[in-house]
Every structure is written in C-alpha cells, then in structure tokens.
Chains A and B, each alone.
Chain A
Amino acid sequence: GAVVSQHPSWVICKSGTSVKIECRSLDFQATTMFWYRQFPKQSLMLMATSNEGSKATYEQGVEKDKFLINHASLTLSTLTVTSAHPEDSSFYICSASGLLTESSYEQYFGPGTRLTVT
C-alpha cells in the first residue's frame, strides 16, 4: 500500500527557534497533502491543505505566518513552525492523497512528529 513517512519522529527545541517537519510519500505521487495537529487525548485537527505547486489553504484560526507549509514536489511537503513556543508543543501528523492510490477519497497517514518546545 501507499506509504507516507515523516521526519523527524520527535523533536525538542527551545522557545523562539524554528522547526521543520518533512512529510514524504514514498511510493506514490501526492497531489494533495494535509497537516493535522493532535493534542493529548484529543482528535485530529486539520491545520491546512496543500496542493503541489500552490499555496496552502489554512483552516480558520491557524496562523499562516507561524505554520509555514511548502509543497514543492509531488512527494514532499514541509511544515515549519516558526518562533516556536511551549503552546506549540503537540503531535503533528501529515496525510497524503493523489495518484496511484485506490481512491482519491482515501488518505494515507504519516507516523506523526512529536514536537516539544521548552
């Protein structure tokens, strides 16, 4: 099946620094990638949708200048948390859909990245 990887799997950074998280589709071309955020014991909250080669569409309440999303190729999307603060600590999960998946309604999820800001 389609595989999505994320790197790093966990990261600790100091307050005020920036962190980049990569999401890669390993065996298919992802025309659309999604970024979710998950707080402990809660469901996934959609942050933004990105289509290859175009600007990401952010959900209401998500700061686009703080969470920079780039989808430069059909296999890679990145999420950069700029000037991170402790409240940005969370579990970030990406998913991808696109060509060669069974259905474009289906999404394949990465394993997630645990971000801790100290």
Chain B
Amino acid sequence: AQSVTQLDSQVPVFEEAPVELRCNYSSSVSVYLFWYVQYPNQGLQLLLKYLSGSTLVKGINGFEAEFNKSQTSFHLRKPSVHISDTAEYFCAVNNQAGTALIFGKGTTLSVSS
C-alpha cells in the first residue's frame, strides 16, 4: 500500500526567504509524484509533477522539487517566497493509472512580511 507523509503541518517564513516543504512516500512499486497548492475556499492547482526522466522538476510560480528514490522523498522548494505563496500545499502519489491519488495531510505555508 502507498502512503504519503508530509513532515511539517505548518511552515512559517518571512517574505523573500527560501522554503522547503518536505514529503516522504512509501510504495513497493514505482510511483508518480505530485505537488498541489490550495488557496482558501478553492480547489487544487497542480504545482508540478514527477512522472519520469529528470529527478529535478520545475513547476509553476518558481517552485521546484527533487525526486530522491533512495530516500523516498519529493521535497518542494522555492528560493524566495512571496506573501501570495501563503496557502495549503499537498503532496500526492499514484502508482496505477486510473486510480485515485493518495494525499498527504498537507502543509500550511504562511509567509509574512
């Protein structure tokens, strides 16, 4: 069975500081990994995804993530955050076409000035 662990429930940072949101997964087979962002009272927006190829994945809004198979991690990073990045971030995994994504519990990123 697959599972996703987001190690930090809340991450407070100051504007223009770098940030890393951690995600670890467990699966006995190859996985496909996703990061989504959710703003208040809105649906999910895909930030980036790893399906195959380069382990460093670049997404929207300046975010990137690195797939590390040996550490079973897919941490999300941004070198300089903005106030507008304040939102809930979800890591998700899938290993079979046509099946639902398995989500982590989410990390609340709070950016202050």
Q: Which residues of A contact B (CB under 8 A)?
A: 6, 31-32, 34, 42-44, 46, 49, 51, 91, 93, 95, 97, 103-107, 109-112, 114
The one of B32, B43, B51, B100 that contacts A46, using a Cβ cutoff of 8 Å: B100
Q: Give min CB distance, B68 to chain A, whole Å.
A: 19
Chain B residue at minimum C-beta to C-beta distance from A35: B100
The interface centre, meaning the residue of A6, A104, A109, A111 with most chain B CB atoms within 10 A of its CB, is A109
Residues of B within 8 A of A110 (CB): 43
Interface of B is mostly: loop
Interface residues on chain B, size class: 20 to 34
Chain A residue at minimum C-beta to C-beta distance from B9: A41
Contact B100 A109 (CB under 8 A): no
**Residue-wise interface mask of B (9-45) relative to A, using a CB-CB cutoff of 8 A (1 in contact, 0 not):** 0000000000000000000000010101000011111
Give bound CA distance, A50 to B42, whole Å. Answer: 23
Contact B98 A104 (CB under 8 A): yes
The one of A43, A51, A114 that contacts B106, using a Cβ cutoff of 8 Å: A43
How many pairs of residues, A versus B, come closer than 8 Å at their CB atoms? 57
In order of increasing CB-CB distance, the 5 nearest A-B pairs are A104-B97, A111-B43, A109-B44, A112-B43, A105-B32
Residues of B within 8 A of A112 (CB): 41-43
Q: Give min CB distance, B9 to chain A, whole Å.
A: 9
Give bound CA distance, A44 to B34, whole Å. Answer: 14
Other than A43-B103, A44-B90, A95-B101, give 10 A-B pairs with Cβ distance below 8 A. Answer: A42-B106, A49-B100, A91-B41, A93-B43, A103-B97, A104-B98, A105-B97, A109-B36, A109-B43, A109-B46
Give bound CA distance, A93 to B38, whole Å. Answer: 12
The one of B44, B51, B94, B104 that contacts A93, using a Cβ cutoff of 8 Å: B44
Some 12 contacts from A to B, beta carbons below 8 A apart, are A6-B43, A31-B98, A43-B90, A51-B98, A91-B41, A93-B44, A95-B100, A104-B97, A109-B44, A111-B42, A112-B42, A112-B43
